Structure 1
Amino acid sequence: MLTSYRLEAPTLHFGDDGVPRSATFDDVYFDKEAGLAETRYVFLEHNRLTERFGSLLNRNFTIAETGFGTGLNFLCALECFLQHAPDTSWLHFVSVEKYPLSKASLTQSLAMWPSLQPLADELIAHYPQQCHGLHRVELPQLRTTLTLWFGEASEGFTALDAQVDAWFLDGFAPSKNPDMWSDQLFQQINRLSHSDTTFATFTAAGIVRRGLQSHGFQVQKVKGFGHKREMMIGQFLEDEQTTRYSSTQPAWFASRPLRPMGKVIVIGSGLAGATTAHALAQKNIAVEVWEQADHIAAGASGNEQGMLYPKLGASDTPVNRLYLSSYLYAHNFYQQYADKSIWQHCGLTQLPKDDAEQLKFEKITRAELYPDAILKAVDGKLILPLSGWVRPKALCETLLSHANITVHLNRPLEQIKTTTEGFELLSNQHTYHCNQVILCTANQQDALAPWTLLPTKPIRGQVSQLPISTLDIPSQVKAREFKQVICADGYVSPALDDQLNFGATYDLKNEDLTVTGTSHSENISKLADLLPIDVNESHSSLCQGRASLRCTVSDYTPIVGPVSATASLINALGPLRTNAKWQTNEEVEKIEGLYVNLGHGSRGLVSTPLCANYLASLMLGEPLPIETAVTDALHPNRFTIRKLKRGEV
């Protein structure tokens, strides 16, 4: 486990010529006179990218790189892709970087290449926070996805689930950075490659040549760029004599689909359904969305205003990594809706609700786990600068307005049956057929009964809305003055349409959706603890609100991925009952084409955008945006595996 998500800043300086130089490795990031030409010669020409891009048709192409640096190689590959690839294709670029540049240094470095400036501006605008882990950047207008790992190269590729078509083996020279060129790195290059995978590298160093040859690559020396005498190129040899390295992920969590994409139906139009449908639609997949109510986001996602609140922990766990990655992705995802009054980036202040939480805050502070740009402690409070508020219902409506999405209201899912080619769905005495089904309805899993029962539980929550004009004058001033979301036992967001939106109750064993004065009173009490305004019991009668059911999970983690039949899992994985460390290379049987994305509880605004991107990437065979340890924590099979290991089934 990591002790910190903070990253060591690169020690670099810019010379009189404007070229960035690493003090750590005593080397330049690129040659001022020939940087573009060298990248095009070494990596583009010797991976035959112009030719390969031109023949893509309806295909993805994945490039992986060691050493993102200034992003120059990425921009050159992107430029080539846009010039030569068909409009129906998509570029995936994966790179690792132990010492990521700041946005300011990136901007200064890329200013040297005016011909790339429009593409550089897109990269700079979407460049991730300097935080350890996997970062996903979607550039749909450029038909491109950038996946960055900030941390050790071998660690990043070990965490990656992808199939790489071409390798850019870059970074500082092996003589200056020998630690990167480890056997573990070459093992992961082997694992992520296939029979058509090529590589190119500027170096001809023996440590690189021997590493590639011993891990399945045919290696050839060719003329280097400019004054460099030699460089290396080659291709992966996938034959019976090649040792193949496999993922450390258990086979029962392997998730790659077998069925090609066809007609997709998403069940549910709340945050999970809307983000999932939109993620697929962005990749030019036609999606139908079924909503059982007569309007979009009729459940918990229908609130007028919600907060981006990740509840980050004090230690590094797969679930904490999930929420950290989701939080960073969600911040960037919502930024595109700032001008639509759907999102406001205003920050969040978290106050301790009791002494126990105060101790937790102190533990987080002592751990120094997070960069200050993500979380910092001030006077006993936690400040989350990237947070803000979202209008969930308006967001769902906007996402579902995509041209590739068709929404059907008043269409409940009553039954799913498998067919030889996909599924038969029953609704309102009508039968519909599709190839893929994604269940995103929070608390309606009856359709999964033939195969599995997932441990979710509905918990009622009521939010309240109070017109600021009902307060006394001093309180009105204070209510309009505060600019950040404030959380403790409850939450309140900055005023929207001169009203305060706040809450929420957490009502166990109560599924009544009637809005009650009792719940308004409870929320008023929470509001009084959050803001220095004069509110009391009498204000509860002036509130409006809505009640809905959160979908919570027994281990407080969403359930996202392919569905398997519980009986088949138990039958195939029986040895786990007596040996929890037992392993198998055989993937378990899935209900091919059936997926779930649910159980986001009260943190759906944080987790649904990235989980939707993960599910779409999984279904389309793209590099996944979440590291494997985290996808295991999301997988629907996890509950049966735990029961088997405990001997409960």
Structure 2
Amino acid sequence: MTAHDPGPDWAGGHLRSARHGDVYFSREGGLAESRAVFLEGCGLPGRWAGRAHFTVGELGFGTGLNMLALIDLWRRHRPAGGHLGLFSVEGFPLPVADAARALAAFPELADLAAALLAQWPKGARGFHRIQWPDHGVTLDLAILDAGEALSQWSGRADAWFLDGFAPALNPDMWSPDLMAAIAARSAPGARAATYSVARIVRDGLSAAGFTLNRKPGFGRKRERLEAELPGVAVNQSPPRRIAIIGAGIAGAALARAFRALGAGPRLFAQGPMASGNPAALVSPRLAAGSSAGAQLHAQAFRRAVDLVRQTAADAVLGTGALRILAGRGEPERGRATLDSGLFDPGSLQWLDAGATSARLGEVVTDEALWVADALVLRPQRLRAAWSGSAGLGGQPEARRIARIARAGPGGWQLFAEGGALLAEADCLVIAAGPGSAALTGLPLRPVRGQVTLAHEEPGGAPASWGGYAIPAPGGVLFGATHGRDDPDPAVRAEDNDRNLDKLARMRPALAVRLRGLPLDAVAGVRAASPDHQPLAGRIEDGLFILSGLGGRGFTLAPLLAEHVAACAMGAPSPLGASSAALVDPARLKRRVAPESGLGQIDVG
């Protein structure tokens, strides 16, 4: 993939790729072609009958027409409670206006197309998740070169749509290495379909282990190709009983993610939550360290913004925030973030000190990034929206979990104080903040943070710099302290003074206005891992974790919850392999086994 694409060409009223000199779909009828070549060619809908999960991959997303035709078929022949996972690759995404113009030719797909266009990626490189929740469909669209996308995707496809531009015009999309990668990312018995019977396609698929079958082609094409791998598809049943311990932002995000996959988890919570502040900021981390880390944090930010806007818009207090580049190395990290290609064009803007001062309404000496998509949230509303009906009576179950223990292969039991059995689960996810350490044996450490609330108009834009100052209901919220290995959630008056002192270094005029005013405060205890990366994934059979989010829970939890839910339910993860490895709890050594008897903990 190169930095510049010539873009679409509408010469003669047909959508063509100027780069490859080929049409996006047949002039004899794009929707009819999708149905005949790809849906029929992969034996759909018959092959998903009775399946709890079915996965379809595609090379060449283009306008999205193949996927829309597939979703239309799925909604008419969906197995009861079934979930359809889609994966597609596109190196040069169309502008949304051109996609809309092309899809307007198929009015019977108008409602599905509208949902796709509303979530259309704006150009950021990486993985993008698009959902049709009413139909149980999730699409992971990789804006990447095909080889990189396939190496990063964790799924196994039951069917493949091979729809790149013609092999003579785009041979890289049909290389033997790519066909081998397709086979490696396929389930037993997978089918592949394509409009092309070119020699490079036949040889590549055959060498990868597919059995080939020529069929009559569509439109002007004399033949098309169907291919099949040996083996028999296995219909794995997802866990029926799912329990989540912790109802902060991690637990709420998990509840939403499991429901999106058709599951109904039980959510247990008791005790103070680190995500109990009156306001929260969703903003990206500056690029630092590994490329996998940069990709993870950028994708998490994009996904958090999309999900909040789609599912909990009334939780948004404001949009847009400054990231002030104060401190050694911060401007360089800001530039690296801006130049990474991991954010949508125009979503980040470089500001010199004068422009930063204008946004804040006071004089500062630092440069900044303007993050147009940053969100200021009401945490309580977001947690309520995502917790949904996961607990009894629509609320998390306020039960104290004293101990968990294995119950047979893959099963788990949750016990209350005094030894009473509260629940049994086929899948248990620990999202209990610092309390996750006792339940899992993983080396998480408590980090206490206190934020201060002044009942005064904040003035200027929301801003962060390591600390932050953001609008909150009734005033301005600023802080926070960072007390490592401090598990005490009690509010401390001296920490308000510390927060004011830190604020004075970054926003002196605001700090002057706030000194002497009555101040409220909220303190919470977060969990951090030894390497400061989150923990998200499988610990052992039936036991998973989402923790170690530090002070970035509202940015990280939405995406990582989807990753954990996918791992638990046997669905494709939204994370690339390198990002999944970065957060895999297996990287840390466990200190105790959860069966070994645990002290009482508060979770939430």
Fold match (TM-score > 0.5): yes
Does residue 1:353 correspond to 2:326, yes or no? yes
* 1:312 aligned counterpart, secondary structure: coil
Alignment match of 1:275 (pick from 234, 238, 253) = 253
Contact kept, 8 Å, 1:337 with 1:343, in 2: the verdict is no
Contact kept, 8 Å, 1:10 with 1:100, in 2: the verdict is no
Q: Larger deviation: 73-82 or 133-142?
A: 133-142
Cα deviation per residue 1:92-135 (whole Å; 9 max; x = unaligned)? 11100110112222222222222211111000111223122122
Displacement after TM superposition at 1:238 (Å):
3.8
Residues of 1 paired with 2:285 and 2:37: CA distance?
45
Alignment match of 2:406 (pick from 418, 421, 426) = 418
Does residue 1:382 correspond to 2:359, yes or no? no
Contact kept, 8 Å, 1:291 with 1:410, in 2: the verdict is yes
Return closer, same or farther for 1:87/1:152 CA change in 2, 3 Å cut-off: same
Contact kept, 8 Å, 1:220 with 1:232, in 2: the verdict is yes
Does residue 1:525 correspond to 2:498, yes or no? no
Contact kept, 8 Å, 1:417 with 1:424, in 2: the verdict is yes
Cα deviation per residue 1:190-219 (whole Å; 9 max; x = unaligned)? 112233211110001010001111111110
Q: What's 1:437 paired with?
A: 428
Contact kept, 8 Å, 1:261 with 1:435, in 2: the verdict is yes
Q: What's 1:48 paired with?
A: 43
Residues of 2 paired with 1:7 and 1:215: CA distance?
31
Residues of 2 paired with 1:74 and 1:424: CA distance?
41
Displacement after TM superposition at 1:409 (Å):
4.2
Residues of 2 paired with 1:498 and 1:127: CA distance?
36
Query: Given the two structures, how large is their TM-score scaled by the length of structure 1?
Result: 0.83
**One-letter code of the match for 1:349?**
L
Does residue 1:133 correspond to 2:133, yes or no? no
**One-letter code of the match for 1:389?**
V
Query: Given the two structures, how large is their TM-score scaled by the length of structure 2?
Result: 0.89
* 2:247 aligned counterpart, secondary structure: coil
Q: What's 1:584 paired with?
A: none
Residues of 2 paired with 1:215 and 1:538: CA distance?
68
Residues of 1 paired with 2:82 and 2:98: CA distance?
32
Correspondence list, 1:598-637, <5 A? 598-637=547-586
Contact kept, 8 Å, 2:180 with 2:205, in 1: the verdict is no
Displacement after TM superposition at 1:514 (Å):
2.4
Return closer, same or farther for 1:404/1:232 CA change in 2, 3 Å cut-off: farther
Displacement after TM superposition at 1:413 (Å):
1.8
* 2:253 aligned counterpart, secondary structure: helix
Correspondence list, 1:146-295, <5 A? 146-238=139-231, 260-293=238-271
Return closer, same or farther for 1:138/1:198 CA change in 2, 3 Å cut-off: same
Q: What's 1:397 paired with?
A: 384
Q: What's 2:480 paired with?
A: 504
Displacement after TM superposition at 1:443 (Å):
0.7
Residues of 1 paired with 2:427 and 2:263: CA distance?
12
Q: What's 1:597 paired with?
A: 546
Alignment match of 1:88 (pick from 68, 81, 85) = 81
Residues of 1 paired with 2:229 and 2:368: CA distance?
53
Contact kept, 8 Å, 1:6 with 1:369, in 2: the verdict is no
Structure 2 regions of 5+ residues with no counterpart? 353-366, 591-604
Alignment match of 1:334 (pick from 302, 308, 313) = 308
Does residue 1:485 correspond to 2:475, yes or no? no
Q: What's 1:545 paired with?
A: 521
Structure 1 regions of 5+ residues with no counterpart? 240-255, 469-475, 564-589, 642-649
Residues of 2 paired with 1:93 and 1:558: CA distance?
26
Q: What's 1:78 paired with?
A: 71
Return closer, same or farther for 1:366/1:40 CA change in 2, 3 Å cut-off: closer
Contact kept, 8 Å, 1:552 with 1:599, in 2: the verdict is yes
Contact kept, 8 Å, 2:536 with 2:564, in 1: the verdict is yes
Residues of 2 paired with 1:38 and 1:626: CA distance?
32
Displacement after TM superposition at 1:605 (Å):
0.8
Q: Larger deviation: 351-360 or 143-152?
A: 351-360
**One-letter code of the match for 1:319?**
G
Contact kept, 8 Å, 2:278 with 2:472, in 1: the verdict is no
**One-letter code of the match for 1:38?**
E
Residues of 1 paired with 2:487 and 2:511: CA distance?
28
Q: Larger deviation: 79-88 or 544-553?
A: 79-88
Alignment match of 1:98 (pick from 81, 85, 91) = 91
Residues of 2 paired with 1:353 and 1:553: CA distance?
25
Percent identity for Structure 1 against Structure 2:
30
Q: What's 1:249 paired with?
A: none
Alignment match of 1:559 (pick from 531, 535, 551) = 535
Does residue 1:24 correspond to 2:2, yes or no? no
Displacement after TM superposition at 1:156 (Å):
0.6
* 2:244 aligned counterpart, secondary structure: strand
Displacement after TM superposition at 1:32 (Å):
4.1
Contact kept, 8 Å, 2:86 with 2:138, in 1: the verdict is yes
Residues of 1 paired with 2:425 and 2:206: CA distance?
46
Q: What's 1:145 paired with?
A: 138
* 1:166 aligned counterpart, secondary structure: strand
Return closer, same or farther for 1:362/1:95 CA change in 2, 3 Å cut-off: closer
Contact kept, 8 Å, 1:67 with 1:171, in 2: the verdict is yes
Residues of 1 paired with 2:189 and 2:451: CA distance?
55
Cα deviation per residue 1:382-403 (whole Å; 9 max; x = unaligned)? 1222211122222112211236
Count of paired positions: 571
**One-letter code of the match for 1:85?**
R
Residues of 1 paired with 2:582 and 2:277: CA distance?
28
Q: What's 1:107 paired with?
A: 100
Return closer, same or farther for 1:264/1:203 CA change in 2, 3 Å cut-off: same
Residues of 2 paired with 1:100 and 1:10: CA distance?
11
* 2:187 aligned counterpart, secondary structure: coil
* 2:224 aligned counterpart, secondary structure: strand
Residues of 1 paired with 2:213 and 2:588: CA distance?
49
Displacement after TM superposition at 1:499 (Å):
1.2
**One-letter code of the match for 1:50?**
P
Residues of 2 paired with 1:140 and 1:364: CA distance?
32
Cα deviation per residue 1:307-353 (whole Å; 9 max; x = unaligned)? 0122131565212211111111111111024542x024512211122
